[in-house]
Chain A
Amino acid sequence: MSLISVKDLSVTYGANTVLRHVSLDLDPGEIVTIVGPNGSGKTSLLRAIIGATRPSSGEITLKPGLKIGYVPQRLHIDQTLPITVERFLRLADRIPRTACKAALESAGVPDLLTRQMSQLSGGQFQRVLLARALINKPDVLLLDEATQGLDQRGSAAFYQQIETVRRDTGCAVLMISHELHVVMSASDRVICLNGHVCCEGTPAVVASAPEYRALFGTGTGGALALYRHEHDHGHDHDHPQAHGEAD
């Protein structure tokens, strides 16, 4: 059985439909990456899966007892809130110190336990977020652009860490990313989203799909092309965003 199963999901904010008829499944142990331009509903999809956004139609089925580890896009801790890394890791449950150390270890930052969150560098901060997501031994890791603000080397190292985590713990990973060139190689499956599922498949299949090229261009693996793409692409259909089944 799939860990997460999304069927025919639509999400609207007011009169604005951000997701229409999206379906996807996440199976145990696989790494699935969602790519798509800004405003393509990537974050809304993740919010719907964790229950932060109510779908206007369709359904989301989580495997009973599914443990989700969530790494948010950006986490701002107010300057007035003092909190050590250890306390942050033990946020929701009583977790022994050894487990905190182990989680930091598997996130690649073993020595940060007693540091203040506000003193961490961007890369360290993201890894602590990852450690917090790993601490309950999740079945699924959800990452929402977890490497925003990291440089290329930093984010490459971060995604390598994700692969290591998957190898060691066997947890499935569903992530959103802009950094196609880094992410694609680490993924088992890529879903290209633009309000609807444009195309999906192995990284190689998606990278050569016309829908994907229409969104991200054909250039250097798509990384730079991302910033040049046109929003009002239509895949030669009659309306700007939705078209039928990915053809």
Chain B
Amino acid sequence: MLDDFMTRATLAGIGVALAAAPLGCFVVWRRMAYFGDATAHAAILGIALSLALQMSIFAGAMAVALIMAFTVTLLAGRGYAMDTLLGVLAHSALAFGLVAVSFLSGIRIDLMAYLFGDILAVSRTDLVVIWGGAALVVALILWRWSALLTSTLNEELAYASGLNPKREQLILTLSLAITVAVAIKVVGVLLIAAMLIIPAAAARGLARTPESMALIAAAIGAISAVAGLQGAYVFDTPAGPSIVCVAAILFAVLNLFGWRQRRSA
């Protein structure tokens, strides 16, 4: 069954969607959207380094994404606003990454494949990495769910409940780095943030509790992955962007629907 590249691609897409959904909810609730972007941009530098050092792309991207995330967390609140800091680090990392790639004359790499993803080229090993990473992220978030939610609502409330919001922030940051690293092959650096944010945002209007929002987001992400790949196959369009397009269309439809419902109510 896994011999078929479409099957592998679909499984990869669903894997990323499942990890991105609950994480994406926290990204939306905590207004960290740009943080996801920044981590993803930094991953290009990781890819360049891993090609130069001949190690796995996943490990390289993950390492740089983590370093990036920790640097931002450390520097935050020391003179620069968060978005300024992210802007400086993200685009510097992207630029250094692109320059570093150009030094790798021995290896021909298709940079486009990393910017936009190449889900149709997902191998069995990639699938193991993607589902392993996704399972890890989902497990981390399930384990810390209540603590993360409390910290998201109010820092003092978390302290008074005996939690450490800084540690919870670190868990989110770590999950974000893992998600970015596993998703690079599927949707690429430029569209990872879309898979985090769009399904979560689309789920907002349908949900009454945080849990239902995460579940609905997961469903929307998975539907986008399946439908996007089918669409890409039928219309011969690039796969990663097609997935994001379906998610965006779902977002628009659900919002229009919700708006009409509110108006008639």
Instruction: For chain B, give the interface size range.
Output: 20 to 34
Q: Is A15 an interface residue (CB 8 A)?
A: no
Contact A84 B159 (CB under 8 A): no
Contacts of B146 in A (CB 8 A): 91-93
Residue A98 interfacial (CB < 8 Å)? no
Q: In this assembly, does A81 line the interface, its C-beta being within 8 Å of a C-beta of chain B?
A: yes
B156 touches A80 (CB 8 A): no
Task: Name the contact of A75 in the complex, choosing from B147, B153, B204, B208 (C-beta under 8 A).
Answer: B153
Q: Is the CB of A70 within 8 A of B160?
A: yes
List the A side residues contacting B209 at CB < 8 Å. Answer: 82-84, 87
**What separation, in Å, do the CA atoms of A78 and B26 have in the docked complex?**
11
- Contact of B29 (CB < 8 Å), options: A80, A88, A116: A80
**A52 contacts the other chain (CB 8 A):** yes
- Interface residue range, chain A: 20 to 34
Q: Does A72 contact B (CB under 8 A)?
A: yes
CB-CB under 8 A from B161, the residues of chain A are 70, 91-92
Question: Which single residue of chain A is at the shortest CB-CB distance from B27?
Answer: A80
> Which A residues are CB-close (under 8 A) to B163?
92
Which of the residues B147, B154, B207 comes within 8 Å of A82, measured between beta carbons?
A: B207
Q: Does B152 belong to the interface (CB within 8 Å)?
A: yes
| Distance in angstroms between the alpha carbons of A50 and B163 in the assembled complex | 10
State the CA gap A80–B33 with chains docked (Å). Answer: 13
User: CA A84 – CA B210 in complex, angstroms?
Assistant: 9
Q: Does B73 count as interface, using CB distance less than 8 angstroms? A: no
Taken residue by residue from 47 to 85, chain A's Cβ proximity to chain B (1 for < 8 Å, 0 otherwise) reads as 100111000000000000000111011011110111110
B104 lies within 8 A of chain A by Cβ: no
Contact between B204 and A72, CB atoms less than 8 A apart: no
- Interface membership of B150, Cβ < 8 A: yes
Determine if A87 and B210 form an interchain contact, defined as CB atoms under 8 angstroms apart: yes
| Number of cross-chain contacts by CB at 8 Å | 69
Contacting pair B208 A81 (CB below 8 A): no
Given the interface pairs A81-B210, A83-B209, the reply to whether A91 lies near B201 with Cβ below 8 Å is no
Task: Establish whether residues B28 and A72, one from each chain, have CB atoms under 8 Å apart when the complex forms.
Answer: no
Contact with A along B1-44 (1 / 0, CB 8 A): 00000000000000000000000000011110000000000000
Cα separation A70 to B31 with both chains bound (whole Å): 25
Say whether A144 faces chain B, with CB atoms less than 8 Å apart: yes
Report B154-172 CB contacts with A as 1/0, cut-off 8 Å.
Answer: 1111011101000000000
Asked if B149 is an interface residue, CB under 8 A from chain A, the answer is: yes
Assuming the contacts A72-B154, A81-B152, asked whether A50 and B208 have C-beta atoms less than 8 A apart, the reply is no
Q: Is B57 close to A, CB under 8 A? A: no
CB of B213 closer than 8 Å to a CB of A: yes
Given contacts A78-B31, A82-B208, A84-B209, contact A92 B156 (CB under 8 A): no
The minimal Cβ–Cβ distance linking A65 to chain B, given in whole angstroms, is 12
Contact residues of B between 200 and 251, Cβ < 8 Å to A: 200-201, 204, 207-213
Instruction: Indicate if A134 sits at the interface (CB-CB under 8 A).
Output: no
In angstroms, how far is the closest chain A Cβ from the Cβ of B219? 16
Select from chain A the residue with minimum beta-carbon distance to B155.
Answer: A52
Question: Once bound together, how far apart are the Cα atoms of A72 and B151, in whole Å?
Answer: 13
Encoded as 1 (CB less than 8 Å from any B CB) or 0, chain A from 34 to 53 comes to: 00000000000001001110
A88 to B204, CA, bound (A): 17
A78 and B159 contact, CB distance less than 8 A: no
Q: Report which of A68, A76, A77, A81 forms a contact with B160, defined as CB distance below 8 A.
A: A68
Given contact pairs A81-B152, A81-B210, a sample of 6 additional A-B residue pairs in the complex whose CB atoms are under 8 Å apart: A47-B159, A70-B157, A75-B157, A80-B200, A82-B209, A87-B209
Give the 8 A-B residue pairs with the shortest CB-CB distance, closest first: A70-B160, A52-B159, A50-B160, A81-B29, A82-B207, A50-B159, A87-B209, A80-B28
6 A-B residue pairs with Cβ-Cβ distance under 8 Å, sorted by A, are A69-B160, A75-B153, A80-B200, A81-B210, A81-B213, A82-B208
